[in-house]
Amino acid sequence: MGPKELTRKEREYLARRDEILQAALKLFSEKGYHQTSMSEIAKEAEFSIGSLYGFFKNKEELFFTLIKGEIEEIESRVAPKMSQEKDPRNKLRSLADSLFNYFEERWQAFTIFTMNHHDFPATLSSDLGKMIHSKQMDFLKTLTEIANQGIEQGIFRPLRPEEMALAFQGLINGSVFLWIASDRNYSLKERIPGILDIFYRGVLKS
């Protein structure tokens, strides 16, 4: 049995909610979390403040929903492309390509979390922290499985797969942070060959 088809009312609800989330993303990325009010989000989305509270009970819930949705978007992009690949090297390249495509398109969502997390209320910080930690562990599990696959196929050296996964995750995360810090003045995707070269060959001259 396939997924349940949404009714028109449900589609309209989700479309209106998405309008609010996109308006919030714009304002959060421009002004920061603390400096953005619900009334400003309502105005940007062209909703009444009462209608806005019909979708989200407060700014914390709105922001959590926004970040959760972005993480789910990343997962929906990465998983299908990786599943098409058999070679673990191609899986890693596909993963990096999908992630960097996302960050180049949706950099605002990344910056509003990383640059404003000190402004978050304690409850929001805790909830976001738990969710992101869970997703990071899922990501490491996926990378570890790819490393194991490469070892079993005789492509990768028989090192600890968990440490290989951490090394690759570090290269990806570090590359994104440096890109944001540089005001995005180059293409992330252009860095993929170098990242893979460092991961596979290290930094010592042979």
pLDDT tens-digit map of 31-59: 888 889 999 999 999 999 999 999 999 99
Are 172 and 96 a contacting pair, CB within 8 Å?
yes
Distance in angstroms (rounded) separating the CA atoms of residues 161 and 149: 9
pTM exceeding 0.75: yes
Say yes or no to pLDDT of 1 above 60: no
Q: Are 109 and 13 in the same domain?
A: no
Residue with tokens 């209608």: 51
Shared domain for 23 and 116, answered yes or no, is no
Q: Which of 57, 77, 95 is the last residue of a domain?
A: 57
CATH code, domain with 5: 1.10.10.60
Q: If you average pLDDT over residues 72-97, what whole number do you get?
A: 91
Based on the fold, state whether residues 153 and 70 are members of the same structural domain: yes
* Beta carbons of 150 and 88 less than 8 angstroms apart: yes
Percent of the chain with pLDDT over 70: 94
**Residue 185 and residue 101 share a domain:** yes
How many separate helices (H) and strands (E) can be counted in the chain?
9, 0
CA dihedral sign of residues 183, 184, 185, 191: positive
Whether the per-residue pLDDT at 3 is higher than 60: the answer is no
CATH code: domain of residue 74: 1.10.357.10
Across 74-94, average pLDDT: 91
Q: What is the DSSP string of 117-173?
A: GGGS-HHHHHHHHHHHHHHHHHHHHHHHHHHHHHHHTTSS-S--HHHHHHHHHHHHH
Q: Residue 174 — very low, low, confident or very high, per pLDDT cuts 50/70/90? A: very high
pLDDT at res. 115: 62
If asked whether residues 63 and 51 sit together in one domain, one would say no
Local confidence band at 121 (pLDDT 50, 70, 90 cut-offs): confident
Residue 31: domain span:
1-57
Judgement on whether residues 111 and 193 belong to the same structural domain of the protein: yes
Q: How many Å apart are CA 164 and CA 141, to the nearest integer?
A: 11
Are 6 and 18 members of one domain?
yes
Cβ contacts of 197 within 8 Å, gap of 6 or more: none
State yes or no: pLDDT of 168 exceeds 70: yes
Q: Give the pLDDT band of residue 119 (cuts 50, 70, 90).
A: low
Domain boundary among 57, 80, 99: 57
- 38 shares its domain with 74: no
Q: Are residues 87 and 175 in the same domain?
A: yes
The pLDDT score that the predictor gives to residue 48 is: 95
